[in-house]
Structure 1
């Protein structure tokens, strides 16, 4: 099993949006960064995923989901009416992928970015590095997962 963190802007998709989905499952689409796409393609059934709200006052980890469907082509890339449309995409040779995530838990409080930076054991976490701050899908080590899960 692997562990991941995915970022979302709550005005686009908030963790509470899972509550309106059948079985609390949603496709995780619209990722348009090659490294993040490769991370989506590396996800396996049962992998656990932290959900992170970005671009808000309280940036941080807000809950936990699990991968219930492995990577498959992201249809929003082929839809000219979608904000995630990519005219270079091709159905025969997909450029972009998505996974399906199922909500496991909404944390009782946001584990804010500033707080996470104060936890010495998380110092090397991708999220807390300069490069990781912008990556929308990123790996989390088993030890980082255990620490954060305890905090959540």
Structure 2
């Protein structure tokens, strides 16, 4: 299993909207960055990730799971753009802000700290577990696929 972070502006697609999609999940559309698209091509069903509100809030607010591997993005005019489908798994009791992440020495190498503009990014297993702890989530529960 691998771990990821998905960024969305809450005014465009919020955590509450993601949760409303239930077990079927929703396409993670609109990514027009090659590196982010390539990360989605690496994803497998069952991979877990953080749902991050960008711009407003700038915080990790939930945990998601990949339910469908990379396929053509239904919002793209060009077949080179792909997406995965993700579903909401759980809220985090204590959202983790970008400032908190940046202040944690254990997270100094996290992509969110070093390339905060990338909309889909990898998270190491150790980073995922530590952020879960900060968020008040049992890492073992959050990491089970």
Q: Same fold (TM over 0.5)?
A: yes
Structure-2 separation of matches of 1:105 and 1:22:
11
- Unaligned residue ranges in structure 2 (runs of 5+): 136-145
Alpha-carbon distance, 1:60 to partner? 1.2
Moved over 4 A (4+): none
Structure-2 separation of matches of 1:19 and 1:123:
30
- Unaligned residue ranges in structure 1 (runs of 5+): 79-88
How many residue pairs get aligned? The number is: 135
Q: Is the 8 A contact 1:24 1:103 kept in 2?
A: no
Pick aligned residue for 1:128 from 113, 129, 142: 113
Aligned position for 1:111:
96
Structure-2 separation of matches of 1:59 and 1:104:
20
TM-score (norm. length: structure 1) = 0.85
TM-score (norm. length: structure 2) = 0.89
Instruction: Look at both structures and tell me which one has the larger radius of gyration over its CA atoms.
Output: 1
Name the SS of the counterpart of 1:121 in structure 2. helix
Structure with more of its chain in helix, by fraction? 2
Q: What CA deviation, in whole Å up to 9, does each residue of 1:34-93 have, x standing for no partner? A: 00000111111110111110011x211111000010000002012xxxxxxxxxx1xxxx
Aligned position for 1:59:
58
RMSD of equivalent CA atoms: 1.1
